[in-house]
Structure 1
Amino acid sequence: MNDISAHINQSILKIPFDLFNIISNYIKLHSNVKVAIVGGYIRDLLINKIHKKTFFSPIDIDIVTEGSSVDLAKFIKKNISNVELCLIKEFEIYDTVELNINNLKIDIASARKETYEAPGLNPIVQHTSIEEDLKRRDFSINAIAFEFSKQEIYDYFDGIKHIKEKELHLLHENSIQDDPSRIIRCARYASRLGFKISKKSLKQSQDTVKRWPWAVINDDTKSRFPPGISIRIRMELSEIYKYDNLAKIVSLLNDWEVISILNKNISIDNKFLRGLKWIKKLKGNYILYLLKNSENFELTCQRFFINSKEKKILKDYLNISNQLENEKEKFLYLTPSNWTEFIETKNLDEETVKLLICNGGEFWKSFFRWLFIYKFIKSKKSGASLKSEGWHPGQEMGNEIKRLRYIEIDKIKRN
């Protein structure tokens, strides 16, 4: 343990922009108020030390204080030197501050206790000690802190032991009920860190998901989901989409029998996973891909805050998919220009086309060619040149430009 403590101490001293000394000075000037680094930064330092696994430079650093987060942020900004940019963004609801120093993001929060009145709702917040603050964290490996004044490691939940064992442990028995998005975060850590979920945490996750949809707000006609659940799930998926292997994480959720946190109608097979990889390559809407086979369209859209444009994309995808299935013979012999006319006449959004590509099947290549080839091909004659030949502006000239464009499209060889 002494070896680990020494590693953490040495690493904290090397935090950029002389932050260790700036924060230490702040503590002395504010009656030795407690300040600690907590969360992913400490976790990754420990994993590096214990498992010799190297991570990229930290995306952010989480700091918690028993004093004012705003005062600490302003003190850092005032005393930092040799930086091009130092921005402060305040979030009053949770008394947190985001500090951006030359693209290093530092989240500063006043120590708080969170109470959930009902599953999935946003918590009620009270100021508390750092020790109490650590109890609200998601996993034991994220509830390890380094306190500045005594240069002491806080590890009340055996986080270091669990890092050594490469296990993910939820902190308490209502963890998933309080914030169901933690299931997705757990899969992200399992994928990224190479850890496994503990048996107790897996059982809690499975038992909570079986009680889905956590319908805590009711009226006479329907139950709806607490909005906080959907927002947090979308935020987790956004992080995964940017930095992780979404296909691997969805597979883990399926293996853990908690896939209904996203969509109970997802069928995990090679075709679906291949489509997940393609939606990322195409920079498509991954949320719509995950929801495309939902049984209850309207409820799913409500649950995930799908806007009107996204709803149209999904509806068009479903309609075209059904048409391709029911009229397969008709589509087998379409020329490139026929496909172009079909797609453009229906005014399909590119996101709909991407979903059709990622869904695979017999016709995905035709949609792919339209997206990357056909739609960019133009008629060799412009409106101006046709006008010089005696054509009059209007529908007939428009049809002629379209006909000439289709001729050029049909010259493309299909591989």
Structure 2
Amino acid sequence: MDILRAFTYSELESINSIRDLCSHKGIKCYIVGGAVRDAILGNQIKDIDICIDGSPNDILNELQGLKYCQYHIKFQTASLVFKNGVSIDLIRCRKECYFRNGALPTISPSYIHEDLYRRDFTVNALAYDIEGEDIIDIYGGMQDLGNKVLRKIHSNSYREDPTRIFRAVKYAVRYNFKLEDRDEIKKCIDKGIFNTISSDRIVKEIYLLCCEDEWIKNIYLCNDLKIFSIDKHYLGNKVINGIENETNCASVDVRILRLFYSLRDEKYARILVENSILDRKLRSTMKCFIENSYKVVDLLTDTMENYKLYTILRKLNDYGLIFLSWNPKLEYKIYNYIDNLRNYKTSLNGNNIVSQGIKDGKSIGRILERIMKIELNTGIKYGQKYLAKNLGESI
């Protein structure tokens, strides 16, 4: 089967450059993983990985058309960018060894068959021999692609690397595949398999789930598998609204926040807060609402004054405003703040007060605060003439 028809002219130009040099040096090279899968399915190819049975350093210095290269010595991989704009990851064939379940693997150089064994699912364990123009399919990946089935390669797969469970969710939803290992995954989760890996590794996979077009379906499937518990009513089917559009928050971060809003699982709420992966302001906002959500909501629910609304909400960042806007009882108040109050500036400043003979700093502060309160609650700007007339009431 010739999968090369799925690639663009520029991609083939770069692939052939690697093939020709490898052939000259007697090195076998293969397109592996997602590119093979997507080429067979007729989908757009996003990432090109080429596996070779030698070190990338053996060819990098002589590779034609190369614009940029970053070599990763630990894994013997190279990130390549060609002058025609094509990006390719060049990888040495390797095998992996897990000293305990959940540990990061140790790696050693190997050949294509052992490289395919280390992969997550049969549909991702396909390789295309570029020179031989033939597909290598050891684990029945072609049949599983045809039957739209997603299944692991070997018996200990999910236990040695629990993050594969999140990837199972992603691929099952993305390609509408039947998740063959559903019952086994549930058993692994029930036995606490995620306790063997760090919060950072968990959050990285959740973040990638939220990058997908069908991200809500990903979260639903996580809930069904009992990875975590959500209230589907709070997750909702529509996330983007006016307030999100008026902020600088990244859309994926807003999706993470929506997941946090819908969680009914304290453990995973803490995991989303206590990690080094997510944006610091996003984590700070989620932590704030874990600790003070009821207090903030009660304060906003009880107030009808623009001044009080302003003094509460001006302390929050955009993530906090978005989070509160999802509460039906507060939605209008958040819109009011965003549209009418957020950029408020008093019509007077300290110099205006000093010009009326007031020198004491505390008195100036009290006058400005009173002016702010009146202007926000009435919508009427004080003005210098009004200040001179009503100074006695303002002190």
Residue of 252, 258, 271 corresponding to 2:226: 258
AA matched with 1:354: I
Q: Alpha-carbon deviations, 1:303-346, whole Å to 9, x = none?
A: 64589866653342134422256x47x834422221111234xx
Aligned to 2:202: 233
Aligned to 2:232: 269
SS in structure 2 at match of 1:267: coil
Aligned to 2:113: 131
- Which range is displaced more, 371-380 or 144-153? 371-380
Aligned to 1:60: 47
- Which range is displaced more, 382-391 or 157-166? 382-391
> Does 2:293 align with 1:356?
no
Is the Cα–Cα contact under 8 Å of residues 200 and 277 in structure 2 kept in the other structure? no
Q: Alpha-carbon deviations, 1:177-211, whole Å to 9, x = none?
A: 1222222222222222222211xx11221111111
Q: Alpha-carbon deviations, 1:369-414, whole Å to 9, x = none?
A: 43565222222234455555555483443444444444454467xx
Correspondence 1:269-288 to 2 at 5 A? 269-273=232-236, 283=250, 284=253, 286-287=255-256
User: Aligned partners of 2:170, 2:160: CA distance in 1, in Å?
Assistant: 19
Aligned to 1:21: 16
> Does 2:128 align with 1:146?
yes
Correspondence 1:335-374 to 2 at 5 A? 335-344=305-314, 347-358=315-326, 360-371=327-338, 373-374=340-341
Residue of 322, 333, 342 corresponding to 1:375: 342
User: Aligned partners of 1:267, 1:316: CA distance in 2, in Å?
Assistant: 20
User: Aligned partners of 1:316, 1:245: CA distance in 2, in Å?
Assistant: 29
SS in structure 2 at match of 1:88: strand
Correspondence 1:3-402 to 2 at 5 A? 5-6=1-2, 8-11=3-6, 14-16=9-11, 18-31=13-26, 33-48=27-42, 54-55=43-44, 58-76=45-63, 79-80=64-65, 86-101=67-82, 104-198=86-180, 201-213=181-193, 215=195, 225-227=196-198, 230-255=199-224, 257-260=225-228, 266-273=229-236, 283=250, 284=253, 286-287=255-256, 290-291=259-260, 293-296=264-267, 300=271, 304-305=275-276, 312-323=284-295, 327=298, 331-344=301-314, 347-358=315-326, 360-371=327-338, 373-388=340-355, 390=357, 392=359, 394-402=361-369
Question: Structure 1-normalised TM-score?
Answer: 0.77
AA matched with 1:381: L
User: Aligned partners of 1:158, 1:10: CA distance in 2, in Å?
Assistant: 22
Is the Cα–Cα contact under 8 Å of residues 37 and 124 in structure 2 kept in the other structure? yes
Q: Alpha-carbon deviations, 1:4-33, whole Å to 9, x = none?
A: x13x143458352712331222122212x1
For residue 366 of structure 1, report the CA deviation from its aligned partner.
2.3
Aligned to 1:218: none
In structure 2, runs of 5+ residues without a counterpart are 380-395
User: Aligned partners of 1:100, 1:349: CA distance in 2, in Å?
Assistant: 38
Rg larger in structure: 2
Is the Cα–Cα contact under 8 Å of residues 378 and 408 in structure 1 kept in the other structure? no
User: Aligned partners of 1:39, 1:66: CA distance in 2, in Å?
Assistant: 16
Aligned to 1:221: none
Question: Structure 2-normalised TM-score?
Answer: 0.80
Is the Cα–Cα contact under 8 Å of residues 61 and 105 in structure 1 kept in the other structure? yes
User: Aligned partners of 1:351, 1:396: CA distance in 2, in Å?
Assistant: 35
- Number of equivalenced pairs: 369
User: Aligned partners of 2:336, 2:364: CA distance in 1, in Å?
Assistant: 27
Query: Structure 1 pair 213/387, CA: closer, same or farther in 2 (3 Å)?
Result: farther
User: Aligned partners of 1:154, 1:369: CA distance in 2, in Å?
Assistant: 61
Query: Structure 1 pair 18/320, CA: closer, same or farther in 2 (3 Å)?
Result: same
In structure 1, runs of 5+ residues without a counterpart are 49-53, 216-224, 261-265
SS in structure 2 at match of 1:146: strand
AA matched with 1:226: I
Is the Cα–Cα contact under 8 Å of residues 123 and 144 in structure 2 kept in the other structure? yes
For residue 166 of structure 1, report the CA deviation from its aligned partner.
1.4
SS in structure 2 at match of 1:60: coil
SS in structure 1 at match of 2:342: helix
- Which range is displaced more, 109-118 or 10-19? 10-19
